[in-house]
Amino acid sequence: IDEIDAVGTKRYDTHSGGEKEIQRTMLELLNQLDGFDERGDVKVIMATNRIESLDPALLRPGRIDRKIKFPLPDIECRRRIFQIHTSKMSLASDVDLEGMVTAKDELSGADIKAICTEAGLLALRDRRMKVNAKDFEEAKKTALYRKKGNIPEGLYL
């Protein structure tokens, strides 16, 4: 269940119709999770970026038994991720991948992929065969702007 925080948020005593529907959904989810013990080898995997917003009832032992954190990639991982996503690109001589690897941007693997993809698209839009440093700078701004939640995911700059 990706983005479990959409239905598994902390419950509040409220009278709004939307909140009541979320609470009903949450209660049904808890009932379903409690029923898995009898069924055998059923594993439920949930993902969230906001574990602090989850309802304590969802986090009780027997419902969520393990929490696995995926930290941001270290320098070696970032280097490898940049290599993977730029390996089929023709890069201009001004591109400093090592500078991007060592920057203190707290980029996830998905952020790095988005930056590389966007940089390639910027070069294509300008009908250039090589991706240059400016493309990566603009792509980074776009990716980090989206990450902060300033624009909807589907809206393209």
My answer on whether 79 and 118 are in the same domain is: yes
Q: pLDDT tier at 124 (50, 70, 90 boundaries)?
A: very high
- What is the number of domains present in the chain? 2
Residue 150 has pLDDT above 70, yes or no: no
Does residue 131 sit in helix, strand or coil? strand
Per-residue model confidence (pLDDT) at position 157: 43
Distance CA 141, CA 155 (A): 15
Residue 28 has pLDDT above 50, yes or no: yes
Residue 101 has pLDDT above 50, yes or no: yes
My answer on whether 83 and 127 are in the same domain is: yes
Which residues are CB-neighbours of 134 under 8 A, at least 6 positions away? Answer: none
What's the mean pLDDT in 78-97? 98
Per-residue model confidence (pLDDT) at position 119: 98
My answer on whether 42 and 80 are in the same domain is: no
Per-residue model confidence (pLDDT) at position 82: 98
Q: Considering only CA atoms, which of 107, 105, 103, 47 is closest in space to residue 81?
A: 107
Burial of 65 (0-12, 13-18, 19+ CB in 10 A): exposed
Mean pLDDT score of the chain:
84
Looking at the domain assignment, is residue 128 inside a domain?
yes
What's the mean pLDDT in 59-72? 83
The alpha helices in 73-128, defined as continuous H runs, are 75-86, 97-102, 109-125
My answer on whether 141 and 87 are in the same domain is: yes
My answer on whether 35 and 80 are in the same domain is: no
Which residues constitute the domain of residue 20? 4-53
Q: Is the dihedral of CA 93, 98, 101, 104 positive or negative?
A: negative
My answer on whether 47 and 79 are in the same domain is: no
* CB 135 within 8 Å of CB 122: yes
